[in-house]
Structure 1
Amino acid sequence: MFYQKNINCNIIMNNKDRKITAHEADRLFGFTREHFVEHYDLQSELVDHLANAIELKWQQNPDLDFEQALQAAFKKFGIFGFSDIVEKRQKALTKKYYKLLWSYFKTFFRLPQVLGTLSAVIAIYWLLKFSTILYTVFLFCGIVAGISYAIYMSVKYRRRAKKTGRKWLLEEIIYSCAGGFPIVYAPIYFQHFFSLEEKTISEPAAWLLAITLVLYYLFDYVALFVLPRKAEKHLTELYPEYHIIEKQ
């Protein structure tokens, strides 16, 4: 679907069959960047739309200047330009991200993973009953580890995007959301940290805290480790050319 640079760009043979050239395709990619479209997948989709619209204009008027045809094609996007399409695409891919996140999260409640989940709940429950100080130390270490790894993931993604010169929207969502989970839940963790002193905790409260903490850590684990490791697989499924382009 994507109109890629240096691919399927036909040289102009005659005015009647005038097609977008490689140089003009480069100009279209630059045009999308000028209008604040940062992600390569969105740029490619928009270039495809613009190229088709321009070639249609040329069928009607073969002598029409490229820039004039481009501006005429761009007007069809309305007063907000590309922003509406970009916003809709962002919403769609964010929704897809959370569906993926939820699908991986649910695997921890199926056999055999559910046995590990139950074991973690029981272990934290006994830790709470044994010593709230050890529990808070465990909690604090989890927070520090989660935030540290989130920062590492964010830096790694930015360096990779800078090296390749391309950003893919779903990939950015995966890595940016991964960095957000430990930070979003940190206030909840610290609330437990400061409210749990050396005191007896009731059975229901101990089980509730144990279950809550395991659920939080599972979401963090899926967001920070599982989904980023599967990112290339899902990106290739969504964008068949992803693997080829990123290996160039």
Structure 2
Amino acid sequence: METDKRKVSAEEIERLFRFTRQHFVEHYDLQAELADHLANAIEERWQQHPELSFEDALTAEFKKFGIFGFSDIVEKRQNALTKKYYKLLWGYFKNYLKLPQVFGSIAAVVVVYLLLGFSAYIYSALLFIVMVFSVVRLFKVKKMYHKKTLSTGRRWLLEDIIFSCGGIGPILYLPMQLNLHLADYYLSEPIRWGLAVFIVVVVLLEYAALYILPHNAQKHLAETYPEYRLLQQ
């Protein structure tokens, strides 16, 4: 008769979560993934070596991750979810290129084009306004997220990326560089149209990153992590 397989207990699962935190895994989703992986690996090891203690089995399994520990897994997951973030951001941006929103986008381009006709300095003024609103909103979003993590005690990697608004820096860097090279007395018509389109694109991307994505964060987190909604209750 086959004996019952030795299983990792609930207390030992908690120990695995603590172990991942001790090794610099900050996000709950990664902790859960690694704890599950380690638990399965420990149970398989016990089938071959039932005399091993839990801690000895854990140490043996952790050695398989090499000198960098969990860092490689964390980095791969970070890259995968960052790609998912940009895919979500691009999805929201594309909505402004569809009917009927595209009419509003075109109207915004025309308005900016007309404004740029007055002076090249209008570009700098518009850029400054966008930057101020972006920084203020980013501060509010981060404050809101910090308050949430304090109340729940959990951080999720995708949520971290969404509320850090990962697309803001690169989006603002190019407009600032363009501003340094613009002539301060005249903009040709093609350049005005190009800048008008560019400014509207930046504003729409910023709005998607700073307002739409954080507002819809729970929906995307529930789609990514099946357990997310249950743990928020």
Alignment TM-score > 0.5, same fold: yes
Q: Distance in 1 between matches of 2:122 and 2:65?
A: 59
Aligned equivalent of 1:3: none
Which amino acid is the alignment partner of residue 238 of structure 1?
A: T
The structure-2 alpha-carbon separation of the partners of 1:165 and 1:190, relative to structure 1 and needing over 3 Å to count, comes to same
RMSD value over aligned CA atoms?
Answer: 2.3
Q: Once the two structures are superposed, what CA deviation does each residue of 1:36-93 show, in whole Å capped at 9, x if it has no partner? A: 1111000000000110111112222333211011111212223322111111111111
Pairing partner for 1:47 from 15, 18, 35: 35
Alignment match, 1:5: none
Give the number of the structure with larger relative contact order, counting CA–CA contacts within 8 Å between residues 6 or more apart: 2
Q: Deviations over 1:12-32 (max 9, x none)?
A: xxx843211111111100000
Relative to the length of structure 1, the TM-score reads 0.84
Unaligned runs of 5+ in 2: none
State the match for 1:192 in structure 2: 179
On the 8 A contact 1:90/1:169 being kept in 2, the answer is yes
- Equivalent residue, structure 1, for 2:44: 56
Q: Which amino acid aligns with 2:103?
A: L
Is 1:54–1:70's contact at 8 Å kept on the other side of the alignment? yes
1:136/1:193 contact within 8 Å kept: no
Report deviation, 1:211. 0.8
Query: Residue 224 of structure 1: which of 203, 210, 215 is its match?
Result: 210
One-letter amino acid matched to 2:199: L
TM-score when scaled to structure 2?
0.89
Task: Select 1:116's aligned residue among 94, 98, 104.
Answer: 104
Q: Does the 8 Å contact 2:20/2:35 carry over to 1?
A: yes
Query: Percent sequence identity over matched residues?
Result: 52
Choose from 143, 158, 166 the match for 2:131: 143
Contact 2:171 2:202 in 1 (8 A): no
- The residue matched to 2:117 in structure 1 has which SS? helix
> Equivalent of 2:168, from 173, 181, 186?
181
Q: Secondary structure at the match of 2:5?
A: coil
Conserved in 1, the CA contact under 8 Å of 2:38 and 2:58?
A: yes
Say whether residues 1:213 and 2:199 are aligned partners: yes
Deviation at 1:136, TM superposition (A): 4.3
Report if the CA contact (8 A) 2:120-2:182 is conserved: no
* Map of 2:224 onto structure 1: 238
Which structure 2 residues correspond to residues 10-159 of structure 1 after superposition, within 5 A? Answer: 16-130=4-118, 136-159=124-147
Structure 1 residue runs of 4 or more that deviate by more than 4 Å after TM superposition: 131-136, 193-197
Supply the distance in 1 between the matched residues of 2:170 and 2:75 (Cα, whole angstroms): 25
CA deviation vs aligned residue, 1:144-165 (integer Å, no higher than 9, x gap): 1111101111222122222211
**Residues matched between the structures, number:** 231
